[in-house]
Amino acid sequence: MNDILDAILIGIVQGLTEFLPVSSSGHIEIAEAILGTDQEESMMLTIVLHFATALSTVVVYRKDIWEIIRGFFEFKNNESTHFVGKIVLSMIPAALVGFFLEDWLEKLFDGQILLVGCMLLLTAVLLYFADKAKNTEKSVSYKDAIIIGVAQAIAILPGISRSGATISTSVLLGDDRSKAARFSFLMVIPLIFGAIAKKILDAGGVLEFTNGPALLAGFIAAFISGIIACNWMIALVKKAKLTYFAIYCLIVGSIAIIYSLFFA
């Protein structure tokens, strides 16, 4: 990182866009391209910021998480046990993609602004159709969990919003909007912590923090903005206000494509 201010700006971008359906990875790629972030420092910052947003999810859903954990360890055939089973199922596609295609995926996170722009347009389409879907009271089923997991795996591509893809897929499958948002935000927590653990193991158990103050500043910015965005997104999904984000993704995606074709 060049300085603490850059880390704070990227942290805010990560915190807001991790939960709002506009693609955190796409916006981070754009922000880092503008700020000229070093690739090695960018990788460490990405790990720290994802950890921050995972913690913000835990804070927002702390009561739900506690109820799920408590119910699961009753070791009964209850709602919590089924919910954990669905979360595990949803993790499998993204875990497989991350494990077998990690090297290929890392190449996509290196200033691929044209790809980001195209994927943002795809996100816009998903959000638009999800917003037009009828609201129901249906819960996420095991079959839904697998399909939502596939959507999450595809959303590893920079420019496709993970929350947008998973929530939209869930709603299009006929699931209740609030339950879709809850499942989408909770399903990613184990994956983020798992990905961080893998990075630490790959580094021999030691991560080099070359710019501690900047990383800490980015962490705090992402954590606080993540809490705000998560609560905001929950309210927006309930009110079926995703079309506004579809328009936003359409505009930003178009700008990214024009920039990459004519100015990069």
Cα distance between residue 168 and residue 237, in whole Å = 10
Cα distance between residue 92 and residue 113, in whole Å = 28
Q: Give pLDDT tens digits for 72-87.
A: 999 888 999 999 999 9
What is the signed CA dihedral for 59, 237, 18, 10, rounded to 10 degrees?
-100
- Each residue's pLDDT expressed in tens, for the chain with a length of 264 residues: 467 888 898 899 889 888 888 877 777 777 777 776 655 556 777 788 888 999 999 999 999 999 999 999 998 889 999 999 999 999 999 888 877 877 777 676 666 788 888 999 999 999 999 988 888 889 999 999 999 999 999 988 888 888 889 999 999 999 999 999 999 999 988 888 887 787 777 766 555 656 778 889 999 999 999 999 999 988 888 787 888 889 999 999 999 899 888 886
Q: Give pLDDT tens digits for 125-142.
A: 999 999 888 888 899 999
pLDDT of residue 204: 64
Structure tokens, 21: 């359906």
Listed in sequence order, the residues at least 6 apart from 68 whose beta carbon sits closer than 8 Å to its beta carbon are: 80, 83, 84, 186
Q: Give pLDDT tens digits for 35-75.
A: 766 555 567 777 888 889 999 999 999 999 999 999 999 98
Q: Which helix (H) or strand (E) holds 249?
A: helix 243-262
pLDDT of residue 1: 46
What does each C-alpha distance from 47 to 53, 110, 122, 219, 247 come to in angstroms?
10, 15, 26, 10, 29
Amino acid at 16: L
Cα distance between residue 220 and residue 115, in whole Å = 29
What is the signed CA dihedral for 258, 30, 200, 206, rounded to 10 degrees?
130
